[in-house]
Structure 1
Amino acid sequence: MTKLRLHRDQLAAVARVTPYAMAGYGVNVALAAAAFWNTFPAHHLFLWLLFSFSVCGFLGLRSWPRAPSRRRHKANTTRSARNALVFAVLLALPWSFLAAAWAGAVSGTSEAILTAFVVGMAASGSILLAPIPAAALTYAGTILGPLILKLLILGGRENFVLCALAVSFLVFLVVLVMTNARMFMERLKVLDRLKVSIADAKAANEAAQRATSAKSEFFATMSHEIRTPLNSVIGYTSLVLARRGLNTEDARDLEIVRDAGRSLLNTVNDILDFSAIEAGRMKLLLAPTLLRPIIESCLSLILVDARAKGLILSAEIDSALDEVSVSADAQRVRQVLVNLVGNAVKFTSVGRVDVQAKWVKRSDDDVVVRFVVKDTGPGIPEKSIPELFNRFSQLDGSYERRFAGSGLGLAISKSIVVAMDGQIGVDSVLGEGSAFWFELPLAVSRSQPSTERSADSKPAGPGGLNVLVVDDMEPNRRLTSTVLRRAGHRAVTAASGAEAILLVQSETFDVILMDMQMPGMNGLAATKEIRKLPPNQSQVPIIAMTANVLPNEIASCYAAGMTAHIGKPFEIDVLLHAIEAVCDGSGISTRHRVPVASSGGRNPF
């Protein structure tokens, strides 16, 4: 097959230039006729012209570009290779006849012109046919062979010299044709290997895309399967811990279970975040933001852990930060801060953790903010610092600052900071402590930021809301209903999308909490059907409450017409805040979506 393909490429290379070569051939025929008009007999010259023009016209029309046929490709290629030899002989015959008939019969200028035409046509035709060596050599031999024999027959010193020159020129053409043919064949082989390499690269790219798709599907499935039971573990332990009269030992045991569930959830979140970063799917949601509430909310999240270890946790926030709102992804900034402050508290046994935030540069349109998290921990060895922000990086346990967990936290933080065109680093002295810092260039926002609340603050939500809880799993329905009833709301449950639609048609709800993965009609399909109902039923806010938290999954929720998204496992305060947010915007449409964070204060985007 490779040899056949090379033959086909050889023929194609010649066929591409044949129409233009035949035009040149015809011009040379006309010039030769003009040169010998008074030298050769008119009837001989006319017959020669007729034959020459017939040959070049036939070959020119035959080789004119046209759509190739795929049928009988092998047979056509073989036949074309034989035809090339026949056509080479036909093209050479007029000039062969001219040389054999009139060599020695004319003299002086006419003989020189005759020799120039014959040699020139032999050279040009051989070069044209060089991709097909057999045709090129046949052409050159057909033209020069009769001339050589005629000169030998004529004899004489001058004719022998001309004969020797013709033989040497024929040898030169043979060498030239073979060299060009070899170079052409090498080029074809290189192109063939290049095509194979491109095909292999394309196949490898398609395989990589399939692998990426499979990995994403695996992460989505595993995330859902892990988050679903964690929803019950974290949710029910939080409910029990909220009861009065628990003894100290039971409360401590339940706190261990809840914290272990949250730790596992953080690991799942890290893996999903890093997967999105590797795939280039991390998106920044820029909005007008004040930085002080972000810092304060981070400290409030970690304050309990710091106090439990006897650490002082303080913040020094430049008052200028309160004067200007910036365009930033508040959730991502919070994620980096929580990671750095959390690590500082985790690996500091005695002393304090201080958080600083201040302007580094400021103009009317842009600012650069520097955040620093200092601790009095054991410090980091200098040789370990270059590897600190790499994925799965953990320091040696002998330095008592082992980064337990997924080993992705600092790598994710670096990716977020870099995505914001910022810088991140660390200064550390072994035995004295470390100072993790990052700088963010941010645009000044002319809009007013929305009010940020701490996840630990109690929502002053509207009481007595009628909430429809849609979930196919009974433990999830019971958990969510219990949380809602303790907050003073009324909860109605549905185990499927079809049941939810019937309830919406028969009863008025203030908000719907919709699961995604349900047998039969899933949450997306149910939402689309609800949005088709009459206005008094279709405008109800719908919050996706699901373990599906990947960016494309969240986007599909909004595309179906949902108002907001909460990831499972959910924090009680986050759920109540979400309900408050969508219900405060009475008459809120699906065009005005409220970006509600997943549990733990992390925005899955």
Structure 2
Amino acid sequence: MNSSGLQNRLLFISLIPVFILGALAFSWFTYNDLNQQQLSFSQRTESMSKQLADTLAGPIARNNTELIDALMRRSLNEKDARSVRVYDNFASMIMSSGPNPIGPRYPASITDTTELTLYQSGETFRYLVPIFHPDDLILNAVLSRPVAWVELEFDNANIRVAQYQTILINLLILLFILIIITGIALYLNQTVIVPVHNMIRAVSEIRDGNLEVRVPTQSKGELRELEEGINAMAETIKDAYNEMQTSVDQATFDLRETLETIEIQNIELDMARRDAQQANQVKTEFLANMSHEIRTPLNGIIGFARLLTRSNLTKKQEDYVGTILSSSQVLLTIINDVLDFCKIEAGKLMLDQRSTNLKVAIEEVCMMLAPTSQSKGLEVVSLFYEDVPEQLVFDPLRVKQVLTNLISNAIKFTADGSVVIRTMIEQQQGNKVLVRISVSDTGIGLTKKQQKALFQAFAQADSSTAREFGGTGLGLVISKRLVEEMGGDIGLESEKDKGSTFWFNIKSEVAPAAQQPPKHRGLEGHTVALIEPREMSRIALNHQLSSWGGEVDDYESTKQMLIKWTKNQAAPADLVVIDIQGLEATEDVYKHIAHMKSKFKAKVLVITSSTDEDDLDTKLLEKGADFSIAKPLRSSVTYQAVMQVLNPETPKTKEARDLKLGSSQTEVRVLAVDDNSANLKLIAVLLETLGIMVTSVSSGEEAVEKAIVNNYDLIFMDIQMPNMDGLEATRHIRRQEATDRHVPIIALTAHALAEEQEAMLAAGMDDYLAKPIDEDQLQRTLFKWTGAMLGNSINPNVIEHSEDSVETFPTVDTDALAEYETVDLVFSLEKANGKLSLAKDMFAMLLDSLEKDQEQINNQYQQGDYKALLELVHRLHGACAYCGVPRLKLAAYSTESLLKQGFYAQLEDALFVLNEEINHLVRWAKDSEIDEAFDRALKVYALSKQQKKTSLTLQ
């Protein structure tokens, strides 16, 4: 605390009691003086009043008015007397002298008393004194009655002034005494404060580092002891400081030597870090180059092995080729794992967030792994909870990669039983969701010790596991890093010999409502009997059918269901869904199906396995089944099958029939560039098989020469080639390319690092094709960049299904389009009933809105708003119906059918054809004289109508 605070406290401690005692003394003495003055005033005025009454007794008895008057005036000469009055014994005033009294007159009741009465107001004292007859006083004053009354009034102004003077004098005395005491306190206070100031100053300087300062020892008593103590403390601190300084100097010297050593070590560490970074970079480049070098011959092995499978082979040869393909796929998987691990370690992993159907993505993984699971007889079930939005924003490739790893591991380590994939919501806030996907199996399980080693690179549960089941040990590590990149976690719950549950969650956004697929309905009012011997599959199918509005009863066998139906314990169902895998003998199933059809008139949908005999579907249909689909089940396929069974399709018109890709509309010329002869030969064979004209060259220099001289529709360019690599060749081609022409150049590479993709695009390439190449990839790329309708080809966007699948995608058949003209104005006139102006108006309205509709359709497709896209395409289809544009109408109908059936993956092909037909019609309108064309069409229409009339007449 500072000195002024201490000084103030000391003054308060010494002066406050004095002030309190002075105030009490002042109050006591002043109070007594004022009371004494008041008492003296009362006694003096009362005595004067009594004396006047005694003096007036004789004159009043003798009725001597002059004497009475004289005595009254003389009484007013007394100090403080103000007025006097005399009343008779009836309270009537006889005489008065002086001003009117202050206050009210006395009431008549004063005659009732014989005592002196004081009436006191704020300004005066009024005494009313009885006057007795002199003789009565002598005889018996007690019993006598007054003969008159005298009232004497005194002014108390003088006494108030005297009281004020007394208060002032006492106050001045009190102030004088307080001033003297305050001076004494201040003087005494200084004798304490000055030494304290000195001590505070000394302590402050010691704190600031001046250890030489000392406190003057001038005080006495305890203060002197305190001063000496501070000086002793300063001396001790000085000694300690000197000793510490010596230690600090020594420590500084030691630290300097240590820092020099650390600096040397830092330099060495920095050099080591640079070496490690360089080594890591070399490792990354090495792995990328090795990936390319390994994939290049592997591309030829896989490609030609696939081509071999299409040739006439003996059973043994087919087995050998199958072994080559499976071994190659295993090798390719190992290479992909190592390359992914390398990308993750190098921080080059890039996520491609896009709006994707999570349910479909899971089903696609299950379909891809179906052959393995079905060969082991495992039950693989996907349970997708209803509250999970289907369309989410995530990286579909990476989620599928994680799912593929977890599900394939579950299948690999499960000898029998089931693998269940559950998808649920963990958290949801607005459009942000945390989705949890778990994969549970009934396999070998893991001990606690084995679980700890799972998520480490190149580690498996134990060496025996690696020997028995194979694998690199990188799958779970890559999955863990991928999930973490997507903002989630991954973990497992397992018990030895009781199975495992691997789970992961990802943070995602819910796609807009317009992008969410429509909820399938259609089973309202229908009862469905589900026969599924396996519990998890039964639960999944029951859930699926119930969500479509059906009332579902499930059974473990056909026999159990027929017994209940026969005994009327359960009503026959409209539809029976039977999974024959795991049921009783096949012949019994055939009998039961026939019994359901003949007796109960039920419609039967049979679920088979892709591993079943090829003629099983035919036998089932012969025995009475209405339809059959193969596992693994996809919700869209199952829904289409159920609707097909309940509402069989009527024969379709030519316009509404299923359309498929036909032969090429135009000749496509492709330049293939690769320094590896096997890969060059493979891509040439694949392209020639598809009806493409191929020019093959083996170097970048030849590719530049060929591209300058010839006009190619597409160039497939290898990246790593001697002398001039693919990037440099692409730059040369782009520099010498005509301004009005741009040939698509597609990179052939095994590299997948992000910076390499950027380098390809920067060099002028349009896309890249990853090795090893298969027909599916090749067809998608050709269709994307040339629009070629390839003969003997598979729709590039359609996932492979078994022959039993009911999922037929309505895509545009170029043969069907070729049967029509771009514009048929005669048809337009027929729809307008021969009214030329009406036909022209409808055709003009279509042309006016066509380019705007095209832009809106493409925008909605890019945004993924399929509902709005369906409305636009439906409106365009309706507008085409009366305008004589059959090719555009057919293309619009095909696109609309895809949208209505939910086949969104096939929209790209259909929209490509639709855009082409719109462009053809726009060009026709620009190049043609529409009025003249309508006039010619009108003549043809009139002639046709006349011929019809003639024909009718002849008939």
Which band: TM-score by shorter chain? Answer: 0.5 to 0.7
- Match of 1:431, SS state, is coil
Aligned twin of 1:468: 671
Matched, 1:511 2:708: no
Does structure 1 retain, via aligned residues, the 8 Å contact 2:354–2:393?
yes
Greater RCO, 1 or 2 (C-alpha within 8 Å, sep 6+): 1
Return the match for 1:256 from 316, 323, 328: 323
Contact 1:466 1:510 in 2 (8 A): yes
Correspondences of 1:240-389 after superposition (within 5 Å): 240-243=308-311, 245-319=312-386, 321=388, 323=389, 325-389=391-455
Which residue in 2 is equivalent to 1:547?
Answer: 750
Give CA deviations for 1:68-110 in whole Å, capped at 9, x if unaligned: xxxxxxxxxxxxxxxxxxxxxxxxxxxxxxxxxxxxxxxxxxx
Residue of structure 1 in register with 2:759 after alignment:
556
Aligned mate of 1:213, from 275, 278, 281: 281
Correspondence for 1:186: 254
**Which runs of 5 or more structure 1 residues have no equivalent in the other structure?**
1-171, 587-605
Deviation at 1:448, TM superposition (A): 7.9
Take 1:391 and 1:498, find their aligned partners in 2: how far apart are those partners?
A: 43
**2: distance between equivalents of 1:530 and 1:423?**
47
TM-fit CA distance, 1:556? 1.7
Unaligned runs of 5+ in 2: 1-239, 518-633, 635-659, 790-955
2:381 maps to amino acid: S
Bigger shift: residues 179-188 or 231-240: 179-188
Q: Which amino acid aligns with 2:275?
A: A
Q: How far 1:239 moved relative to its partner? A: 1.0
Corresponding residue SS for 2:736:
coil
- Structure 1 residue matching 2:446: 3-state secondary structure: coil
Selected match of 2:781 from 578, 600, 603: 578
Partner AA of 1:360 in structure 2: E
Provide, for residues 464-485 of structure 1, a one-character-per-residue CA deviation record: whole Å limited to 9, x for no partner.
5322211112211110111122
* 1:196-207 paired onto structure 2 within 5 Å: 196-207=264-275
Deviations 1:393-447 (A, max 9, x none): 2123667995521110011111111111111122223333222211111123449
Structure 1 residue 576: Cα displacement: 2.0
Judged with a 3 Å threshold, the aligned counterparts in structure 2 of structure 1 residues 388 and 552 are, in CA distance, closer, same or farther, namely same
- 1:563 maps to a residue whose letter is D
What's the counterpart of residue 488 of structure 1? Answer: 691
Q: Deviation string for 1:177-196 (max 9, x for gaps)?
A: 98776555334323322321
Alpha-carbon deviation of 1:228?
A: 1.2
In 2, are the aligned partners of 1:378 and 1:401 still within 8 Å (CA)? no
* Alpha-carbon contact 1:378-1:430 (below 8 Å) kept: yes
Q: How far apart in 2 are the matches of 1:460 and 1:376?
A: 44
Question: How far apart, in 2, do the equivalents of 1:379 and 1:388 lie?
Answer: 12
Is the Cα–Cα contact under 8 Å of residues 444 and 496 in structure 2 kept in the other structure? yes
- SS of the residue aligned with 2:686? helix
**Deviation (angstroms), 1:350:** 2.0
- Which residue in the other structure is 2:481 paired with? 415
For 2:762 and 2:402, the matched residues in 1 are separated by 29
How far apart, in 1, do the equivalents of 2:249 and 2:682 lie? 81
Contact 1:417 1:424 in 2 (8 A): yes
Structure 2 matches for 1:138-149, cutoff 5 A?
none
What code does the residue aligned with 1:303 have? A
C-alpha distance in structure 2 between counterparts of 1:301 and 1:360, whole Å: 27
How far did 1:336 drift?
A: 0.4
| Contact 2:358/2:390, CA 8 A, preserved across alignment | no
Contact 1:235-1:570 within 8 A present in 2 as well: yes
The amino acid of 1:500's aligned partner reads: A
Work out the CA distance in 2 between the residues paired with 1:376 and 1:460: 44
Shift of 1:375: 2.1
User: Residues of 2 paired with 1:179 and 1:487: CA distance?
Assistant: 89
Task: Tell me which amino acid in the other structure corresponds to 2:723.
Answer: G
Distance in 1, matches of 2:245 and 2:420, equals: 82
| AA aligned opposite 2:269 | A
Whether 1:434 and 2:637 are equivalent positions in the alignment is: no
> Residue 378 of structure 1 contacts residue 431 of structure 1 at CA under 8 Å; is this kept in 2?
yes
Q: Is the 8 A contact 1:394 1:402 kept in 2?
A: no
Cα distance change of structure 1 residues 401 and 204 upon mapping to structure 2, 3 Å threshold = closer
Residues 491, 363 of structure 1: alpha-carbon distance in 2 compared, 3 angstrom cutoff: farther
1:528 matched to which residue of 2? 731
Q: Report the Cα offset of residue 313 of structure 1.
A: 2.7
Q: CA deviation at 1:331?
A: 0.8
Superposed counterparts of 1:437-456, under 5 Å: 437-446=503-512
When Rg is computed on C-alpha atoms for both structures, the one with the higher figure is 2
- 1:395/1:401 contact within 8 Å kept: no
- Aligned pair count reads 409
Match of 2:681 among 472, 478, 483: 478
Name the residue aligned to 2:557. Answer: none
Instruction: Tell me, yes or no, if the aligned pair for 2:451 and 2:461 is still in contact at 8 Å.
Output: no
TM-score by length of 2: 0.40
Conservation of the 8 A alpha-carbon contact between 1:237 and 1:254? yes
Letter in 2 for 1:518: M
Q: % of aligned pairs identical? A: 34
Distance 1:193 1:382, change over 3 A: closer
CA, structure 1 residues 399+222, in 2 after alignment: closer, same or farther (shift >3 Å)?
Answer: closer
Give 1:525 shift.
Answer: 0.7
Is the partner of 2:779 in helix, strand or coil?
helix
Structure 1 CA distance for aligned equivalents of residues 436 and 252 of structure 2: 63
* Aligned partner of residue 532 in structure 1, secondary structure: helix
The 2-side partners of 1:461 and 1:529 are apart by 36
1:501 corresponds to which letter in structure 2? V
TM-score, normalising length from structure 1?
A: 0.62
Rounded to whole Å, the distance in 2 between the matches of 1:584 and 1:287 is 25
Name which of 290, 299, 308 aligns with 1:231: 299
Distance 1:179 1:337, change over 3 A: closer
Measured on the aligned residues, the alpha-carbon RMSD in Å equals 3.3
1:44-83 equivalences in 2 (<5 Å): none
414 and 547 in structure 1: CA distance in 2 versus 1, 3 angstrom threshold = same
Indicate if the aligned counterparts of 1:461 and 1:576 stay in contact, CA closer than 8 A. Answer: no
Partner Cα separation in structure 2 for residue 308 and residue 235 of structure 1: 25
Is the Cα–Cα contact under 8 Å of residues 508 and 537 in structure 1 kept in the other structure?
no
Distance 1:491 1:448 in 2: 44
Once residues 416 and 175 of structure 1 are traced to their aligned partners in structure 2, the CA distance between those partners, rounded to angstroms, is 61
The alpha-carbon distance between structure 1 residues 552 and 187, as it changes in their structure 2 partners (threshold 3 A), is same
Cα distance change of structure 1 residues 519 and 449 upon mapping to structure 2, 3 Å threshold = farther
1:158 aligns with none
Q: Is the 8 A contact 1:532 1:538 kept in 2?
A: no
User: What is the SS of the residue equivalent to 1:343?
Assistant: helix
Deviations 1:148-181 (A, max 9, x none): xxxxxxxxxxxxxxxxxxxxxxxx9999998776
CA contact (8 A) 2:295 2:771 kept: yes
Write out per-residue CA displacement over residues 562-582 of structure 1, whole angstroms, 9 at most, x where no aligned residue.
Answer: 222222122321232233233
Q: Compute the displacement of 1:339 (Å).
A: 0.8
1:264–1:278 CA distance, 2 compared to 1 (3 A): same
In the alignment, the residues of structure 2 paired with residue 229 and residue 450 of structure 1 have an alpha-carbon distance, to the nearest angstrom, of 43
